[in-house]
């Protein structure tokens, strides 16, 4: 339907007149090239439209069309294993249509309309259903069962439902509402991306999201349903941290949003994920992943939309009762897109040119995470964990995006360029990072992994804190002025850093560490500390302790395979043995 006419074009911002029938935040298509856009401002009959595609060679006089619907995502079977652009157009279909390069105005459906799915009902005729109830399932792929839910605003009695093969748009069930109208339910739903999907009730998140990354799980854990951010200067390994979590997190579904980042990074994910095996299901990791890629050279307005597209998809799977992780890399690029549009609208700028509403938009986004009791009579529980990278200019954390983010998120993994230069990866700084979930999750660890978990974690963190203090002293007066006890502390913290915290994402055996192995590693290092401290107390020289051959084994503690956990016991016994020998020798001499 034609709404109005273009009168002005400047980059991604188009102004059209005669738009009195349009609403703000409606989706429109501009010109006969059908460029997709969204109305972001209305003044009289003039609408400012942000266009999600390149506007080169667009001029006044061109028509604007619209259906009066807000920017929405399509939800239904077929989302998994796909790669979409920022406004949910499947990139592989675009490639089929327009080749290796993305041309403008390619019109594609988000989800495949032809594909046939096998629908298995779990409700029967005569059942009373409400918004959010699961009426049946579809095996989306070998690991994920897609649950078909009653869309918003529908409730009543099922008149017709049957197992069979359907396409997305075919009716799988008929529901009779109270006033007698019959509603056809299909497997396809639409949802406006900027509005959070409803749920019954939010809960306090209390279970950890296990990522297999030692510094994260043991020191700064994030809860399922929580929020975390990873700020760091370029080259400090933000993307690798995000990729690692996307790979190994113990969740059912991962939505990965590449927002304004490099094209090759998305290619990397596309190449790597299908080949990686999920330790939980034994199947390819890609089967649980939805990718949204709006690389830095793709239109900037679509970058702004991409994180909303991502979170709407994530919420949809949460509503099925799954645990979902959303990774956004990077939220700074999203904020820059916001700034660019705000600048073109000539809004009054806030800090560093960012719009004044930056903070509230960010808060709105992160607050869509959580552990919730979903709608529906079965009161199922779903979680959505949001983890976003932040790319502060010059690594300066005082800039507006980082500051606005820190006010909201509960976990902060601060990346440090100094660590990255020394190739200490993941370069998460243990002195500045924090997790507000730490105390509750450590309780969970104590109950579920080992009762000593929190004690070991506390001791290790304290040692590392102490190390930084001792290093200050060393810098002033030299190493030799330290007492042997303090020198030992430095050695043990070095071991903690090198043998526990450092983790190589590119080495198969080291890329993922299960919780019980993490604990064993930590426990073994600390046991050596306890034994050595005791030995020092008994008058053994530090250098004798440091020369023990068991230290070399301790240095290769990462290489102990998860299958042979008894090796940790053996290692600990060797330690006791060797230290006892030292004490005995000394006893003999004395």
Partner 1 sequence: MIKEYRTISEIVGPLMVVDKVENVCYDEMVEVRTQSGEIRQGRVLEINEDSAVVQLFERADGILMEKSSVRFLEKPQVLGVSLDMLGRIYDGMGKPIDEGPKVLPEKYMDINGVVINPVARDYPSEFIQTGISSIDGLNTMVRGQKLPVFSASGLPHKELAAQIARQAKVKGSEGNFAVVFAAIGITFEEAEYFIQDFRNTGALQRTVMFVNLADDPAIERLSTPRMALTMAEYLAFEKDMHVLVIMTDITNYCEALREVGAARREVPGRRGYPGYMYTDLANLYERAGKIKGRKGTITQIPVLTMPEDDKTHPIPDLTGYITEGQIILNRDLYRKKIWPPVDVLPSLSRLKDKGIGEGKTREDHADTMNQLFSAYAQGKKARELSAILGESSLSDTDKLYAKFADEFERKYIAQGFEINRSIEETLDIGWELLSMFPKSELKRIKEKYLKKYLPDSSNKQSLEEHPAKKEV
Which residues in the 394-413 window bind partner 1 by CB under 8 A? 394-396
Q: How far is the CB of 339 from partner 1 (least distance, A)?
A: 5
Using CB under 8 A as the binding rule, whether residue 155 contacts partner 1 is answered as: no
Of the pair 232, 376, the CB lying nearest partner 1 is at: 232
CA distance 36 to 51: 6
The annotation status of 84 as a binding-site residue, yes or no, is no
Nearest of 41, 15, 53, 46 to residue 347 by alpha carbon: 41
Segment contacting partner 1 by CB under 8 A, of 117-125, 147-155, 180-188, 263-271: 263-271
Using CB under 8 A as the binding rule, whether residue 164 contacts partner 1 is answered as: no
Q: By rule CB under 8 A, what string of x and - marks binding of each residue 90-129 to partner 1?
A: -xx-xx--xxxxxx--------------------------
Q: Tell me whether residue 588 is exposed, middle or buried, using C-beta atoms within 10 angstroms of its C-beta: 0 to 12, 13 to 18, 19 or more.
A: exposed
CA distance 555 to 500: 9
DSSP conformation letters of 311-329: HHHHHHHHHTT-EEEEEEE
Give kind and range of the element (H or E) at residue 537: helix 515-537
Q: Which of 391, 402, 454, 524 binds partner 1 (CB under 8 A)?
A: 391
Q: Which of 169, 498, 538, 570 binds partner 1 (CB under 8 A)?
A: 498
CA distance 140 to 459: 46
Q: How many residues bind partner 1 (CB under 8 A)?
A: 85
Sign of the alpha-carbon torsion through 475, 555, 514, 577: negative
Using CB under 8 A as the binding rule, whether residue 474 contacts partner 1 is answered as: yes
Using CB under 8 A as the binding rule, whether residue 417 contacts partner 1 is answered as: yes
CA distance 462 to 374: 40
Q: Which residues from 343-372 bind partner 1, rule CB under 8 A?
A: 343, 346, 349, 352-353
Segment contacting partner 1 by CB under 8 A, of 6-14, 68-76, 156-164, 166-174: 6-14
Q: How far is the CB of 48 from partner 1 (least distance, A)?
A: 13
Q: Tell me whether residue 110 is exposed, middle or buried, using C-beta atoms within 10 angstroms of its C-beta: 0 to 12, 13 to 18, 19 or more.
A: buried
The annotation status of 239 as a binding-site residue, yes or no, is yes
Nearest of 343, 345, 334 to residue 400 by alpha carbon: 334
The annotation status of 121 as a binding-site residue, yes or no, is no
Q: Which of 120, 143, 157, 270 binds partner 1 (CB under 8 A)?
A: 270
Nearest of 69, 59, 68, 50 to residue 5 by alpha carbon: 59
Q: Which of 1, 43, 44, 57 binds partner 1 (CB under 8 A)?
A: 57
Contacts of 445 (CB under 8 A, 6+ apart): 208, 453, 454, 457, 515, 519
Using CB under 8 A as the binding rule, whether residue 7 contacts partner 1 is answered as: yes
Q: Which of 50, 402, 487, 524 binds partner 1 (CB under 8 A)?
A: 487
Q: How far is the CB of 547 from partner 1 (least distance, A)?
A: 6
Using CB under 8 A as the binding rule, whether residue 260 contacts partner 1 is answered as: yes
Residues in the annotated binding site for ATP: 232-239
Residues in the annotated binding site: 232-239
């Amino acid at each position: 339907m034609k709404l109005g006419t273009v009168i002005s074009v400047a980059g991604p911002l188009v102004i059209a007149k005669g738009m009195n029938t349009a609403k703000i935040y409606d989706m429109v298509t501009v010109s006969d090239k059908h460029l997709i856009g969204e109305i972001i401002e209305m003044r009289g009959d003039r609408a400012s439209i942000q266009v999600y595609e390149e506007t080169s060679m667009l001029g006044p006089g061109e028509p604007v069309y619209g259906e009066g619907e807000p920017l929405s995502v399509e939800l239904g079977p077929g989302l998994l294993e796909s790669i979409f652009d920022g406004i949910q157009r499947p990139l592989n279909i675009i490639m089929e249509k327009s080749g290796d390069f993305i041309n403008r105005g390619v019109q594609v459906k988000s989800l495949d309309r032809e594909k046939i799915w096998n629908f298995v009902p779990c409700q029967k005729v005569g059942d009373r259903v409400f918004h959010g109830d699961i009426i049946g399932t579809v095996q989306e792929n070998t690991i994920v069962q897609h649950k078909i839910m009653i869309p918003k605003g529908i409730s009543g009695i099922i008149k017709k439902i049957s197992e069979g093969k359907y396409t997305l748009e075919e009716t799988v069930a008929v529901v009779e509402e109270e006033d007698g109208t019959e509603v056809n339910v299909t497997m396809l739903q639409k949802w406006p991306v900027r509005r959070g999907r409803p749920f019954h009730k939010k809960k306090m998140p209390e279970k950890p999201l296990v990522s297999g990354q030692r510094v994260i799980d043991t020191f700064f854990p994030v809860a399922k349903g929580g929020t975390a951010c990873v700020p760091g200067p370029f080259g400090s390994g933000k993307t690798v941290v995000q990729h690692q979590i996307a790979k190994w997190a113990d969740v059912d579904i991962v939505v990965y949003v590449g927002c304004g980042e490099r094209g090759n990074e998305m290619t990397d994910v596309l190449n790597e994920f299908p080949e990686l095996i999920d330790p939980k299901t034994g199947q390819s990791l890609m089967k649980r992943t939805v990718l949204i890629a709006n690389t830095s050279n793709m239109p900037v307005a679509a970058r702004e939309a991409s994180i909303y597209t991502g979170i709407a998809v994530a919420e949809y799977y949460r509503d099925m009762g799954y645990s979902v992780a959303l990774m956004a890399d990077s939220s700074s690029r999203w904020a820059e897109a916001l700034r660019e549009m705000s600048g073109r609208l000539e809004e009054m700028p806030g800090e560093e040119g960012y719009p004044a509403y930056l903070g509230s938009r960010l808060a709105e986004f992160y607050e869509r995470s959580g552990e919730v009791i979903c709608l529906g009579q079965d009161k199922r529980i779903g979680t959505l964990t949001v983890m976003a990278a932040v790319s502060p200019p010059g690594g300066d954390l005082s800039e507006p995006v980082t500051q606005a983010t820190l006010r909201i998120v509960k976990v902060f993994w601060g990346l440090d360029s100094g660590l990255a230069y020394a190739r200490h990866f993941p370069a998460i700084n243990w002195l500045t990072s924090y997790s507000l979930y730490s105390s509750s999750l450590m309780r969970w660890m104590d109950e579920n992994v080992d009762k000593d978990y929190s004690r070991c974690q506390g001791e290790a963190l304290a040692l590392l804190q102490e190390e930084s203090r001792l290093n200050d002293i060393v810098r002033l007066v030299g190493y030799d002025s330290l007492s042997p006890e303090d020198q030992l502390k430095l050695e043990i913290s070095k071991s903690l850093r090198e043998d526990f915290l450092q983790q190589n994402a590119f080495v198969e055996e080291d890329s993922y560490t299960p919780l019980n192995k993490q604990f064993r590693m930590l426990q073994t290092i600390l046991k050596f500390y306890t034994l050595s401290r005791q030995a020092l107390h008994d008058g053994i020289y530090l250098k004798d302790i440091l020369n023990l051959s068991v230290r070399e084994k301790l240095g290769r503690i990462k290489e102990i395979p998860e299958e042979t956990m008894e090796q940790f016991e053996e290692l600990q016994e060797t330690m006791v043995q060797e230290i006892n020998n030292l004490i005995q020798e000394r006893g003999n001499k004395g």
